[in-house]
Amino acid sequence: MQKSECHGVVQLRNRKAGSCDQRTSSSVQIKHRTTVQQSNSSSLTSSPETARKAHPRPSDKLNPKTINPFGEQSRAPSAFAAIYSKGGIPCRLVHGSVKHRLQWECPPENLPFDPLLITLAEGLRETKHPYTFVSKEGFRELLLVQGAPEKAVPLLPRLIPVLKAALVHMDDEVFARGLNALVQLSVVVGPSLNDHLKHLLTSLSKRLRDKKFKEPITSALQELEQHGGNGSLIIIKSKIPTYCSICC
């Protein structure tokens, strides 16, 4: 009996020792895995590739391998920018020491207004240089050529929606360019603009609530009245009752 009891005690001790060894071994394995993971994590963090991604160098912008295909630079260019880059606008920007100017490939009076004038009007919604200057100045210079009224009037049904898109734009500079273009067009086409005026006055009425635009919009409305005659005044008053006529 004593021998069997002693033998049982020894077996129990061996089992406890075995389970303890297993727990110790498991603990060592877990610690080893944690150490390896930390080591891998630190090596990834400190690798040159990771450091370069966190702090990109200026030269990375020129390397196609470092360009993020989902980044801002991968966005498709606007229609106007695409046309300009392909030479669809027959002029180029000349940088001057004081101000910029356009150099046309041929005299502007020899250029067809369709679709050039509409394309330039679409460019008024651009927000980046040189597209902002090219569209604004190109639109203005094209309307100054001899025979501009005869060329511009037939395009009014297509021009007005494009100008309206600039006038409803959230960017203040885009709106200002659209407003100036509208006045320039009014000088050229005169009362022919009256039939389309109501489509533009709603956006002007909304912008009048902004104090910084009250004076330029009022001045533009006076220009529209001056070149559009009595017919334009009736249309302006119907949309903007607070407008005071230049004849008052």
Domains and CATH numbers, the chain: 79-239 (1.25.40)
| DSSP calls for 190-213 | GGGGHHHHHHHHHHHHHHTTSHHH
Instruction: Name the percent of the chain lying above pLDDT 90.
Output: 62
Given this model, what pLDDT does residue 33 score?
58
| DSSP calls for 12-53 | HHHHHHHHHHHHHHHHHHHHHHHHHHHHHHHHHHTSHHHHHH
Four-CA torsion 193, 195, 197, 199, nearest 10 degrees: -130
Q: Are 225 and 182 in contact (CB under 8 A)?
A: no
Given this model, what pLDDT does residue 78 score?
84
Q: Model confidence at 98, in pLDDT bands (50, 70, 90)? A: confident
Given this model, what pLDDT does residue 226 score?
96
Residue 215 above 90 pLDDT? yes
Which of 24 and 57 is assigned the larger pLDDT? 57
77-80 own/partner pairs: CB under 8 Å, 24+ apart: 78/125, 78/126, 78/131, 79/122, 80/119, 80/122, 80/123, 80/125, 80/126, 80/131, 80/135
For the segment 100-133, what is each residue's pLDDT rounded down to a tens digit? 899 999 999 999 999 999 999 999 999 999 999 9
Residue bearing tokens 């500079």: 173
Which of 186 and 42 is assigned the larger pLDDT? 186
Highest-confidence segment of 70-74, 97-101, 223-227: 223-227
Given this model, what pLDDT does residue 61 score?
41
Q: Are 142 and 148 in contact (CB under 8 A)?
A: yes
Residue 240 above 60 pLDDT? yes
CA separation for the pair 248, 237 (Å, rounded): 13
Given this model, what pLDDT does residue 97 score?
75
126-148 average pLDDT score? 96
Given this model, what pLDDT does residue 2 score?
45
239-246 average pLDDT score? 92
Given this model, what pLDDT does residue 62 score?
39
Given this model, what pLDDT does residue 99 score?
86
Q: Model confidence at 246, in pLDDT bands (50, 70, 90)? A: confident
CA separation for the pair 129, 141 (Å, rounded): 18
What is the overall mean pLDDT for the chain? 80
Token pair for 47: 């690798």
Residue 164 above 60 pLDDT? yes
Q: What does pTM read for this prediction?
A: 0.70
Instruction: Please list the residues that pair with 115 across neighbouring strands.
Output: none
| Residues whose CB is less than 8 angstroms from the CB of residue 225 and which lie 6 or more positions away in sequence, other chains included | 232, 233, 236, 245, 246
Which of 56 and 107 is assigned the larger pLDDT? 107
